[in-house]
Amino acid sequence: MGRKLPRFLTPLEVEAMLQASKGNPRDNLLMKCMFYLGLRNSEAQKLDIEDIDLINRVGPIPGHYLDKAHTRKWWAKEQFVPILADRQSHADWVKSGSKTIIDRAKERVQDILSTHKPTPLPEDQVKALDEIVAEATAYYKQKGML
């Protein structure tokens, strides 16, 4: 269907990982970067001193990274744009009908429902499901619930 959504750590898991890494300053710093700065695993694995130096060179606002080789190198790999995001200017969005994200989501659902062709289940799985339904039906009839 698409990319798998990431699993997020609970606050207790984060605290446990920070405690476990306290004996190793490098690992502890890496954990803090990941948790407090929101680095993804892929970003942390590829972390390079150049990444940190770039931040120092560009500086705070109004600095920008768009003209830097580092940004061009990683842009295609790391940029994430949600499927339903509307990238139009406000004026173009109004001209094209002012669809909300809910409108676009409903259209996407309808598109999926009208075009998706599920893979048929193997016959043994269909038979197993039929047996489960028959057993459940008998149970609920006996209980007077059907």
- The model's pLDDT over 87-142, given as tens digits with 9 standing for 90+, comes to 888 899 899 999 998 999 999 999 999 999 999 999 999 999 999 999 999 999 99
In a domain, 111, yes or no: yes
105-110: list long-range contacts, CB under 8 Å, 24+ apart.
108/83, 108/84
What's the pLDDT score for residue 140? Answer: 92
Rounded CA-CA distance 64/71 in Å is 10
What's the pLDDT score for residue 1? Answer: 53
What confidence tens digit (pLDDT) does each residue in 56-83 have?
A: 777 766 777 778 887 787 777 777 777 8
The domain in which residue 134 lies consists of 121-146
Tokens describing residue 9: 């750590």
Q: Say if CB 104 and CB 83 are below 8 A apart.
A: no
Nearest to 70 by CA among 88, 58, 81: 58
My answer on whether 63 and 110 are in the same domain is: no
Could you say which DSSP state residue 88 is in?
A: S
What's the pLDDT score for residue 119? Answer: 92
My answer on whether 101 and 133 are in the same domain is: no
The last residue of one of the domains, among 52, 78, 104, is: 78
What confidence tens digit (pLDDT) does each residue in 1-41 have?
A: 567 776 777 888 888 888 998 998 888 888 888 888 777 77
Distance of CA 49 to the CA centre of its chain: 27
My answer on whether 15 and 47 are in the same domain is: yes
Rounded CA-CA distance 55/39 in Å is 15
My answer on whether 18 and 72 are in the same domain is: yes
My answer on whether 107 and 139 are in the same domain is: no
My answer on whether 67 and 94 are in the same domain is: no
For the chain, state the CA radius of gyration.
25
In a domain, 41, yes or no: yes
My answer on whether 36 and 91 are in the same domain is: no
Could you say which DSSP state residue 3 is in?
A: P
In a domain, 2, yes or no: no
Q: Which residue has the tokens 């768009």?
A: 66
My answer on whether 101 and 132 are in the same domain is: no
Q: Per the structure, how many domains does the chain have?
A: 3
Tell me the whole-structure pTM to 2 decimals.
Answer: 0.36
